[in-house]
Structures are given as structure tokens and as C-alpha cells.
């Protein structure tokens, strides 16, 4: 199976709609072409282009710094202190920004290449991916030992693994590329990188620490591990991720559908939606593998992804009703889980709410975690 987040039938349907290219789909076609042409002029990107401050001294090691950590005013030269929800603008972000830009570019290029039968787009996507994952001079080492480091505290943390959520988009892009057999050699090389990274995710101390987190970090570990496992053909890890969803993530919510660890944060709405998206990604990966987690219910208390979605519905519809902290006052965009819940669970109000949040925006736009919703599900 080439695709992980969509079915081959759905991809073929979108391709046919774009081929017709009239009315609504004509707008989608034009916007996708604009994004693909922008991506043709962008990159390449590599962790080696910005010297890593990682303790290893290896330029191939990915490095980032914890966003909410700041110098201590009482001890400026001492260990950083945490200010939850407040980003330190002086932290090192070069590698994370490069990864995000790479993954968005290859998604636009590969999807446009597949939908429009345009080889030049696919060639560019493969080139950009090889620079990041394959070429000896520029490739990233397949681990995250130095993710979200904190000055004076640690050289890296398990929760830094949240940074590689961006790679879900790259794996999604590789599904489109895999539909063209002439790239089989390159896809094999990409899979080798993800096999090593998946092994690190599931066996290293930092990987296991992240797996055991009870908040959105644990949920996104499962989403990532499930996607990479399906990509490289590791059914055991995929099934483990599905079990974690049923035995830890769903039971870990409160009986009203709220995520107890997220509503305590200073940006509680943002993190609640973020965690909800992780659940949806796991459910959709499983769905495309023939396992329906969308309708999984904790039979004792009735907990489910539907319950969590219903809890969030009034607040995404009107964010000013949110009763918990949201210190930046940010009004959220449309939500991936809402889009999928409308389809998989028949929750049609989710579409109305998403459309309300997306009013006056382009159809093709950067939408976490898996790209423009219109190119995932119509």
C-alpha cells in the first residue's frame, strides 16, 4: 500500500476531479499549481546547512531548544527556567523550520506531480528528500537525541520527538511518489532511514520516555510510530500503537471528553485540539489498514474520540466560550479531526464549524498535521 493517510480510491477520485478542473475544483487546481511552482523554487534544506549546537558536535544531528524556556532573571548565567505557553524568540529553531519547510514543499510537489501527471514536480520532490534523508554530505542522522534541549538543564529530551510530527507530511508525500515505479529505488532509501528512526523511537530511552507521556506527547508518539511503522511494513509496532490508543489515550480522557492534561495548560484550547488531531491521525491510519478505531468506545465510561470531539465542538464554533486558559488569545483554524469526524462518524456539524473557521481563506493552505484538508478528504 503506497498511501497511509488516504486510500488509493480517494486519490484517484481527487485526481479525476482536478482533471475536470471546473468550478470549485478549478480553484483547487489553480491554487495547488501555485503552491507547487513556489516549491519548485524553494530549498533544498538540510540540518548541515545550519551548524548544530548539539553536544555531539556532529553536523548531521538534528537540534532544537525547548520553546518555553528562558534565562532566569535572578541568575542570567544559570539554568533556564520554564514559562509555559511563552515562546523564547532567541531559541535555536533553524533545523525545525528547515524540516517543516521541506515537508510542506515535498507534499505540494508530490501531490501536484501525482494529480497532474507532472514528472518535474516529482523529480524535485525526490531531490529535496534525498538531500535531507540520503545524501552522505547532507543527511540527517535518524534520531532525535538533541531535540528540545534546555540550556543549563539537559542536552535533549524525549519530548523533543514532537518536532518530527512534520515528517508525517513527508511520509504522506512519499505515498504519491510511490505510485510511480521509477522512484522505487529512492523510496527504498527513504524507508531505510525511517526503519532506523522507528527503531530509535521504540527502543531508546528518549523514545520510550515520549511513548510513556500521558499528554499530547504520548499521543503524537503513537501517531508518528504508527505512520512510520505502516510506511516500512512493521505490523507489530503498528498494532502496538493501536493498543496504546485503546488502552491509554482514550481511557486517559475525562468522562466529559476533555483531555485532563491539556486543559491544565496555559494554552489549553490549542493543546486540546492538538491532542485531538493526534487521536484522529491514529484512527485514520488504522482505518486505512482495515481497523476501525473511530468507533472504539471505552465500554465502562463511554469514552471515545467522538466524545472528545463533541466536547470541543462548542468551543471551536465560538472560542470565546472556552472556560480554561488560553493566554495568547489565538483563535484556532479549522481542525483535522473535525473534518474526519464528519466523514467517519457522520458528525456533519463539524464541517459547518470547520468552514466557519476557514472563511475567507485559500482552499490550498498550510494545514497541520497532514496538509490541506481538501486534498485529504473532500
Residue 299 grid coordinates: 465500554
Q: How many CB atoms lie within 10 A of CB 230?
A: 22
The pairing of beta strand 81-82 with beta strand 69-70: antiparallel
* Confidence label for 45 from pLDDT (cuts 50, 70 and 90): very high
pLDDT digits (tens, 9 = 90+) for 161-188: 999 999 999 999 999 999 999 999 999 9
* Confidence label for 375 from pLDDT (cuts 50, 70 and 90): confident
Res. 377: pLDDT tops 70: no
Average pLDDT of the residues in 101-114: 97
CATH fold, domain 213-378, is: Glycosyltransferase (1.50.10)
User: Can you give the pLDDT at residue 222?
Assistant: 98
CB 63 within 8 A of CB 147: yes
User: Can you give the pLDDT at residue 1?
Assistant: 61
- Percentage of residues in the chain having pLDDT higher than 90: 89
Average pLDDT of the residues in 124-149: 98
C-alpha dihedral sign at 235, 309, 174, 130: negative
User: Can you give the pLDDT at residue 47?
Assistant: 98
User: Can you give the pLDDT at residue 31?
Assistant: 95
**Chain position carrying cell 503498528:** 238
Res. 221: pLDDT tops 80: yes
Closest CA to 129 of 110, 111, 144: 110
User: Can you give the pLDDT at residue 330?
Assistant: 82
User: Can you give the pLDDT at residue 139?
Assistant: 98
**Chain position carrying cell 485514520:** 284
CB 253 within 8 A of CB 307: yes
Res. 36: pLDDT tops 60: yes
Listed by start position, the domains of the chain span 213-378
Res. 372: pLDDT tops 90: no
User: Can you give the pLDDT at residue 329?
Assistant: 83
* Confidence label for 360 from pLDDT (cuts 50, 70 and 90): confident
Average pLDDT of the residues in 275-295: 97
Res. 3: pLDDT tops 70: yes
Residues 6+ away with beta carbon under 8 Å from 322: 268, 269, 315
User: Can you give the pLDDT at residue 378?
Assistant: 53
Average model confidence (pLDDT) across the chain = 95
User: Can you give the pLDDT at residue 300?
Assistant: 82
CB 81 within 8 A of CB 70: yes
- Percentage of residues in the chain having pLDDT higher than 70: 99
Beta bridge partners of 259: 253
The better pLDDT of the pair 103, 51 is held by: 103
User: Can you give the pLDDT at residue 328?
Assistant: 85
Beta strands, E only, the chain:
69-70, 81-82
pLDDT digits (tens, 9 = 90+) for 240-275: 999 999 999 999 999 999 999 999 999 999 999 999
Res. 295: pLDDT tops 90: yes
d(CA 12, CA 108): 17
User: Can you give the pLDDT at residue 157?
Assistant: 97
- State which of 7-11, 21-25, 126-130 shows the largest mean pLDDT: 126-130
Q: What's this model's pTM, rounded to 2 decimal places?
A: 0.96
- Distance between terminal CA atoms of the chain? 21
Amino acid at each position: 500500500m503506497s498511501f497511509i493517510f488516504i486510500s488509493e480510491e480517494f486519490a484517484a477520485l481527487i485526481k479525476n476531479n482536478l482533471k475536470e478542473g471546473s468550478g470549485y475544483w478549478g480553484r483547487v487546481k489553480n491554487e495547488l499549481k501555485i503552491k507547487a511552482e513556489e516549491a519548485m523554487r524553494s530549498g533544498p534544506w538540510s540540518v548541515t546547512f545550519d551548524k548544530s549546537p548539539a553536544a555531539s558536535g556532529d553536523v548531521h544531528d538534528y537540534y532544537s531548544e525547548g520553546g518555553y524556556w528562558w534565562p532566569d532573571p535572578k541568575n542570567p548565567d544559570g539554568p533556564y527556567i520554564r514559562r509555559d505557553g511563552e515562546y523564547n524568540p532567541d531559541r535555536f529553531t533553524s533545523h525545525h523550520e528547515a524540516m517543516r519547510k521541506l515537508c510542506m514543499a515535498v507534499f505540494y510537489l508530490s501531490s501536484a506531480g501525482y494529480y497532474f501527471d507532472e514528472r518535474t514536480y516529482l523529480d524535485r520532490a525526490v531531490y529535496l528528500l534525498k538531500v535531507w534523508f540520503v545524501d552522505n554530505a547532507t543527511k540527517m542522522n535518524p534520531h532525535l537525541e538533541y531535540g528540545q534541549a534546555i540550556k543549563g538543564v539537559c542536552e535533549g529530551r524525549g519530548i523533543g520527538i514532537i518536532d518530527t510530527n512534520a515528517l508525517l507530511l513527508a511520509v504522506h508525500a512519499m505515498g504519491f511518489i510511490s505510485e510511480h515505479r521509477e522512484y522505487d529505488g529512492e523510496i527504498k532509501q527513504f524507508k531505510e532511514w525511517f526503519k532506523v528512526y522507528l527503531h530509535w523511537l521504540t527502543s531508546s530511552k528518549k523514545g520510550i520516555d515520549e511513548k510513556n507521556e500521558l499528554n499530547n506527547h504520548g499521543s503524537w508518539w503513537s501517531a508518528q510510530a504508527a505512520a512510520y511503522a505502516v510506511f516500512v511494513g512493521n505490523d507489530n509496532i503498528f498494532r502496538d500503537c493501536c493498543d496504546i490508543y485503546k488502552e491509554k489515550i482514550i481511557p486517559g480522557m475525562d468522562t466529559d471528553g476533555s483531555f485532563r492534561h491539556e486543559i491544565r495548560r496555559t494554552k489549553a484550547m490549542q493543546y486540546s485540539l492538538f491532542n485531538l488531531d493526534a487521536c484522529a491521525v491514529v484512527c485514520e491510519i488504522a482505518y486505512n489498514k482495515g481497523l476501525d478505531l473511530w468507533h472504539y468506545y471505552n465500554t465502562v465510561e463511554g469514552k471515545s474520540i467522538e466524545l472528545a470531539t463533541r466536547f470541543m465542538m462548542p468551543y471551536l464554533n465560538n472560542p470565546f466560550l472556552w472556560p480554561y486558559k488560553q493566554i495568547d488569545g489565538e483563535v484556532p483554524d479549522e481542525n483535522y479531526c473535525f473534518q474526519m469526524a464528519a466523514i467517519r462518524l457522520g458528525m456533519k456539524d463539524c464541517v459547518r464549524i470547520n468552514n466557519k473557521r476557514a472563511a475567507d481563506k485559500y482552499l490550498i493552505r498550510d494545514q497541520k498535521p497532514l496538509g490541506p484538508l481538501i486534498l485529504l478528504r473532500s
